[in-house]
Amino acid sequence: MLVAQGRTPNTEGLGLELAGVELTDRGYIRVNERLQTTALGVWAIGEVAGSPQFTHISVDDFRVVHSNMTGGNRVTTGRQVGTHFPAVAFAIRSSVASGVTS
């Protein structure tokens, strides 16, 4: 399992290609909807896999990987309806959006 923190993928120079892990053109680890990488038995979660940069999305990434590593079949597709998922924008006055809107 590969985990990384930050706003940009810190994948350069890790030698992932030696393990058979492919990167996207933006430097994210290439994963499928089950968060499996191109290398057998290697998974990636969070920002390094190109997921939206929110804690609750990374937690769901963990749920997806855990489910699939233990015989389940959970996927990342369908967990977001368009771009509507809980988010907070910090400004002088906080603005909050939660849930699915029409």
Give the model confidence (pLDDT) of 7-26 as tens digits: 678 888 899 999 999 999 98
Whether the model clears a pTM of 0.75, i.e. scores above it, the answer is no
Helix (H, G, I), strand (E, B) or coil at 87: strand
CA–chain centroid gap for 20, Å, is 19
What is the C-alpha separation between 32 and 50, in angstroms, rounded? Answer: 11
Q: For a pLDDT cut of 70, what percent of the chain falls above it?
A: 70
β-pair partners for 45: 3
Domains and CATH numbers, the chain: 1-102 (3.50.50.60)
Q: Where are the beta strands (DSSP E) in the chain?
A: 2-3, 44-45, 87-89, 95-97
- The candidate with the shortest Cα–Cα distance to 1, out of 55, 50, 39, is 39
Helix (H, G, I), strand (E, B) or coil at 62: helix
What is the C-alpha separation between 12 and 28, in angstroms, rounded? Answer: 10
